[in-house]
Structures are given as structure tokens and as C-alpha cells.
């Protein structure tokens, strides 16, 4: 038998139920699919938002198995898959924003959504990477193009996307300012932040405008988002992962700042680049909590409580 989490309704963590069923049979694979024995599945804020009826819930039909990030080993491949073989270690983001079904001991994933796991990366760390790292890479290498010598600001820098964004911006040669709780500042400097700012220090947030940046990535809204905009120089870019209300866009227009929003998707070139950076140890995800698959609800509660340093993964 093979265990998986099934979400039977939208609501609190209690809607996540553990069920057992026979694992998918190799002969059931489509030509381009891979059967993965999942070792770990990543847990992301979008999982929690979708569970409650937000996020990408409108694209899904109940019941479904949640989750998109996973890492494990190939058990079987479809007839047209030539890039992977049984036994290969792989990681990736499955079918986002459709049903990825990563909260499971076995998952059927399109081969194009997977990449070989670098030898330098444990499976738990690999499962923590795809969605968050591709979001940060998309922001800095696609939505805009961060280059050596630029100034980059990252808000929510202690979280899943944020701590990876700090590392990617540092790798690209930028001078990085990270906004996060004071307890995370030493850790963030170790990841490549050149300057750290406490998000609870209003004076320090206001002072961000005194040292303008070329690019700001904000993963939180409210006052912090407004301070991030104020910190961007005319001609610079504010990338918001939490949407851009009309008020923010109007203020950005007045300041001569371009506002961009992103919607991550699996892009093979991005996943390959993430794997390359991880192999070179230029990108290292922080796994704050490893939770058993059966306790997926507890993992969601940790995210809802806030202030997780890095990522949470489920042990399948």
C-alpha cells in the first residue's frame, strides 16, 4: 500500500486526511510521465491558501491530494522518457497550478517537471527548493535582470522565498538588503545579505528610502510593502509577490517605479539553473521543520503561525 493525503473540502487543517491505496502501476503512466517514490514533499504558503479555498483552489476539483514540491527516486518511466531512468534521484514542482499530488509516498509527475537531484543536496533540502527557488529566480532573472553592482532589497527575507532570494541576488553580484526579524539577521548575513533591517523598526524602514535600490522584491504587503516601494529609485523595479493594489501602482507611477507581479510555473530552464546553483553550493535551502506525512495538518499550522525560518517539508 501507499499513503497519501487527501483533501476532501476547503477549510482548516483538519480537512487533510491520510489514506492508503495501491501505488500507481508503471503501466498506467502516460508516455511522458515518471513514477516517483517520494522521500519528502515541500510545504508552501500557497498550499495553505489553497486548502482554505484561496490560492489556486478555483483550478482544482475536490477531492484531491495537495502539494507540488517533491524529491525522491524514480521507480518507472513512460515510454517516451529518455532523460530519466529508474533509480535516479529527482526533485521538482509537479503540474503547478494543477493537481501536483506531492503529499504522497508515490507521485506521477511529467518528466519535464523534474530534474536530477545534485549529489550535494539531501532529499529533504531538495524538496524545499522548487517553488520558492523558482519564484526567486523568476523575479531576478526573468521579470527583471539583476546584475553585478546593483542594489537589491528583499522583504520577508527570513521566509521560504525570501532566504533563497537573498542567496540568488548575492550570487548574481548584487548588494543585498534583507528585511526580517532581528533574530534572523546573523543567519541572513551568512547567506549573503550585506545589510539587515528589522521589520518592526519603523525608523529603520523609513530610512530605507535614504539608500535607494534598483530592485525590491516584497513578499509581504502593508507598511513593509510601502516602505519597499519608497526604497526603489526612479527607473527601478518593485516586484510584488502579494499583488499590486491600485493604490500601490498609483504611488509607483508617481515615483517613476515599475511594478511587476509574478506567477511561478515550472520552467525547465529555471529548475535546471536552481539545480546547478545547489550543486555549486551557491543556493542552500534552510529546512526548519521535518514533519511526518501523516501530520500534514501540523505542518500547515506551523505556516499559519508565521515566522518560520526557511521551509517545512513532509517526510513521506
In a domain, 267, yes or no: no
Which CATH number goes with the domain that contains 251? 3.40.50.720
Domain match, 181 and 255 both: yes
Domain match, 202 and 87 both: no
In a domain, 42, yes or no: yes
Q: How far apart are CA 142 and CA 122, in angstroms?
A: 28
What are the φ and ψ backbone dihedral angles of 12, each rounded to 5 degrees? -75, 180
In a domain, 272, yes or no: no
* Rounded (10°) angle between helices 130-138 and 160-171: 50
Please report, for the chain, how many H helices and E strands are present, in that order.
Answer: 10, 15
The pTM score is 0.96
In a domain, 34, yes or no: yes
First to last CA, the chain: 13
Domain match, 109 and 150 both: no
The number of folded domains in the chain is 2
- Residues ≥6 apart with Cβ < 8 Å to 39: 71, 72, 73, 123, 124, 127, 315, 316
Q: How far apart are CA 226 and CA 279, in angstroms?
A: 36
In a domain, 274, yes or no: no
Which CATH number goes with the domain that contains 17? 3.90.180.10
Domain match, 95 and 116 both: yes
Q: How far apart are CA 175 and CA 62, in angstroms?
A: 45
Domain residues for 167? 131-261
Per-residue pLDDT tens digits of the chain, which is 316 residues long: 999 999 999 999 999 999 999 999 999 999 999 999 999 999 999 999 999 999 999 999 999 999 999 999 999 999 999 999 999 999 999 999 999 999 999 999 999 999 999 999 999 999 999 999 999 999 999 999 999 999 999 999 999 999 999 999 999 999 999 999 999 999 999 999 999 999 999 999 999 999 999 999 998 877 888 899 999 999 999 999 988 888 889 999 999 999 999 889 889 999 999 999 999 999 999 999 999 999 999 999 999 999 899 999 999 9
- The Cβ-side half-sphere exposure at 56, using a 13 Å CA radius, reads 19
In a domain, 235, yes or no: yes
- What is the per-residue pLDDT across 134-193, written as a single tens digit (0 to 9) for each? 999 999 999 999 999 999 999 999 999 999 999 999 999 999 999 999 999 999 999 999
Amino acid at each position: 500500500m501507499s499513503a497519501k493525503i487527501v483533501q476532501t473540502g476547503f477549510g482548516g487543517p483538519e480537512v487533510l486526511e491520510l489514506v492508503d491505496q495501491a501505488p500507481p502501476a508503471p503501466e498506467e503512466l502516460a508516455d511522458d510521465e515518471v513514477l516517483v517514490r517520494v522521500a519528502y514533499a515541500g510545504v508552501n504558503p500557497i498550499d495553505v491558501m489553497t486548502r482554505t479555498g484561496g490560492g489556486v483552489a478555483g483550478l482544482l476539483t475536490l477531492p484531491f491530494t495537495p502539494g507540488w514540491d517533491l524529491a525522491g527516486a524514480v521507480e518507472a518511466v513512460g515510454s517516451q522518457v529518455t532523460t530519466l531512468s529508474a533509480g535516479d534521484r529527482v526533485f521538482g514542482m509537479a503540474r503547478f497550478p494543477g493537481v501536483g499530488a506531492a503529499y504522497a509516498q508515490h507521485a506521477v509527475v511529467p518528466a519535464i517537471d523534474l530534474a536530477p537531484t545534485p549529489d550535494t543536496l539531501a532529499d529533504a533540502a531538495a524538496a524545499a527548493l522548487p517553488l520558492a527557488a523558482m519564484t526567486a529566480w523568476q523575479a531576478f532573472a526573468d521579470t527583471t535582470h539583476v546584475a553585478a553592482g546593483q542594489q537589491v532589497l528583499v522583504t520577508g527575507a527570513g521566509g521560504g522565498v525570501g532566504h533563497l532570494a537573498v542567496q540568488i541576488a548575492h550570487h548574481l553580484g548584487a548588494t543585498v538588503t534583507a528585511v526580517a526579524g532581528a533574530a534572523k539577521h546573523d543567519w541572513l548575513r551568512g547567506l549573503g545579505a550585506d545589510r539587515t533591517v528589522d521589520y518592526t523598526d519603523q525608523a529603520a524602514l523609513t530610512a530605507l528610502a535614504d539608500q535607494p535600490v534598483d530592485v525590491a522584491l516584497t513578499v509581504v504587503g502593508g507598511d513593509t510593502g510601502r516602505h519597499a516601494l519608497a526604497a526603489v529609485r526612479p527607473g527601478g523595479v518593485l516586484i510584488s509577490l502579494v499583488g499590486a493594489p491600485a493604490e500601490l501602482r498609483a504611488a509607483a507611477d508617481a515615483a517613476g517605479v515599475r511594478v511587476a507581479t509574478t506567477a511561478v510555473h515550472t520552467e525547465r530552464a529555471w529548475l535546471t539553473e536552481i539545480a546547478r546553483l545547489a550543486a555549486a553550493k551557491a543556493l542552500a535551502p534552510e529546512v526548519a521543520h521535518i514533519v511526518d506525512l501523516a501530520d500534514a495538518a501540523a505542518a500547515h499550522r506551523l505556516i499559519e503561525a508565521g515566522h518560520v525560518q526557511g521551509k517545512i517539508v513532509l517526510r513521506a
